[in-house]
Amino acid sequence: MANKLYVGNLSYSTDEQELQNLFSQYGEVTSVNIITDKMTGRARGFGFVEMATAEGVKAAIEGTNGMELRGRQLRVNEALEQNRDRSGGRPRSGGGGGYGGGYRDRY
């Protein structure tokens, strides 16, 4: 079991210190990261909490999943491993295909 939790359905006003305080009730928290929009800097409504132990992860999921925080019901579960492949699971092909053509082909 990984020690990283996905925390979803967060209020946009929730900050990392608030999550740190909440999850530390269930075990040692090693990191908290609320994801923000790159352009606006505004929270995107989800984040990740990393716990020191697997027991802490289990206790935190049981204790916080479905809990109401700032008027929103939290969704807490084990975070999935991040996939760096941007192809969406599709094999990459060498051909272009589709509707193509450059500027000259259109005019």
In a domain, 15, yes or no: yes
The dihedral over CA atoms of 15, 19, 22, 24, expressed in degrees to the nearest 10, equals -130
What is the 8-class DSSP label of residue 94?
A: S
In a domain, 102, yes or no: no
Q: Look up the pTM and report it.
A: 0.74
Q: Tens-digit pLDDT profile for the chain (107 aa)?
A: 479 999 999 999 999 999 999 999 999 999 999 999 999 999 999 999 999 999 999 999 999 999 999 999 999 999 988 766 655 555 555 555 556 555 565 55
In a domain, 38, yes or no: yes
Both tokens of residue 92?
Answer: 């990459």
Strand 4-8 and strand 68-69: pairing? Answer: unpaired
31-34 LR contacts (CB < 8 Å, sep 24+): 34/10
Domain that holds residue 44: 4-78
Q: How many independent structural domains does the chain possess?
A: 1
In a domain, 31, yes or no: yes
Provide the CATH number for the domain around residue 11: 3.30.70.330
